[in-house]
């Protein structure tokens, strides 16, 4: 059992707006909510990096750019350029989608080389790297193979989903990833996490970061839980 303050729980959230029709006003709202609720990061499409970096200047909130999102079906060279461009525009975290086609073809050397290239760029710029598996399309053996590659390359996080596939994070996948990846690599759960109970279950399963567009709702629910119990912390088993 681990006790968390409300602030510690807020710091586990990547506050997300990856909608294709997101406007500058949408980004302004997202960034204001992130500042107010003290979320760890705003998760945005790569093209929004410069705007959000400007809106969040001189705040502790990180800017997380989604790369090759949501399909992952571009070349390594394009992913690397997109990563560098996002960082140049102010991104401080990178979430990229693996090439699922190459994984399905059994080309693990390609997957490792792609991961190494992107993670190296992130390390060179002191930027957090996250590798999106998109588990809804993968077998357990493929997920484990990705965990083994990540254990070798050591990105900062491996991540369950984009939220754009037919299903998102599951407790089983979080537990599987946590079990098979090197302990130095953290697990991020994303996709379909919309309430405090699911949020807590994902953390209990081993997630150390949560991507969600429902962060405000989740923290408000947790705040109410603290008021109802009269406690200062929330315990998660």
**Quick one: pLDDT at residue 128?**
98
Nearest to 119 by CA among 95, 138, 100: 95
- Residue 206 sits at the vertex; the CA angle it makes with 200 and 207, to the nearest 5 degrees, is 70
Q: CA-based diameter of the chain, in Å?
A: 54
pTM, two decimal places: 0.97
Count CB-CB contacts under 10 A for residue 179: 11
Say if residue 96 is exposed, middle or buried (CB neighbours under 10 Å; 0-12, 13-18, 19+).
buried
Per-residue pLDDT averaged across 179-188, rounded? 98
Nearest to 85 by CA among 70, 105, 68, 72: 68
Catalytic residue flag (residue 21): no
pLDDT in tens, 111-146: 999 999 999 999 999 999 999 999 999 999 999 999
Catalytic, out of 130, 178, 188, 200: 188
Nearest to 13 by CA among 172, 173, 198, 225: 198
pLDDT in tens, 32-58: 999 999 999 999 999 999 999 999 999
pLDDT in tens, 63-97: 999 999 999 999 999 999 999 999 999 999 999 99
Catalytic, out of 40, 79, 143, 159: 159
Band (pLDDT 50/70/90 cuts) for residue 237 is confident
Catalytic, out of 14, 40, 79, 95: 95
Catalytic residue flag (residue 95): yes
Query: SS3 of 56, please?
Result: coil
Is it the case that residue 148 has pLDDT exceeding 90?
A: yes
Catalytic residue flag (residue 188): yes
**Quick one: pLDDT at residue 152?**
98
Angle at which helices 215-229 and 196-205 cross, to 10° = 90
């Amino acid at each position: 059992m681990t006790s968390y303050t409300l602030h510690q729980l807020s710091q586990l959230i990547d506050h997300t707006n990856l909608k294709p029709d997101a406007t500058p006003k949408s980004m302004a709202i997202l960034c204001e909510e992130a500042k107010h609720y003290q979320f760890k990061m705003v998760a945005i499409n790569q093209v929004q990096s410069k705007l959000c970096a400007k809106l969040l200047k001189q705040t502790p909130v990180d800017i997380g750019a989604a790369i090759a999102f949501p399909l992952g079906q571009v070349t390594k060279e394009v992913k690397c350029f997109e990563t560098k461009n996002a960082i140049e525009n102010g991104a401080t975290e990178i979430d990229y989608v693996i090439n699922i086609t190459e994984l399905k073809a059994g080309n693990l050397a390609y997957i490792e080389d792609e991961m190494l290239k992107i993670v190296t760029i992130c390390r060179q710029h002191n930027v957090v790297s996250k590798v999106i598996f998109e588990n809804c399309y993968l077998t357990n053996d493929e997920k484990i193979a990705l965990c083994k590659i990540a254990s070798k390359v050591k990105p900062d996080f491996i991540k369950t989903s984009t939220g754009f596939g037919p299903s998102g994070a599951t407790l089983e996948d979080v537990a599987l990833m946590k079990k098979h990846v090197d302990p130095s690599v953290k697990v991020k759960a994303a996709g379909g996490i919309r309430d405090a109970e699911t949020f807590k279950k994902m953390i209990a399963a081993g997630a150390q970061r949560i991507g969600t567009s429902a962060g405000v709702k989740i923290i408000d629910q947790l705040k109410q839980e603290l008021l109802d119990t009269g406690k200062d912390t929330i315990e998660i088993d």
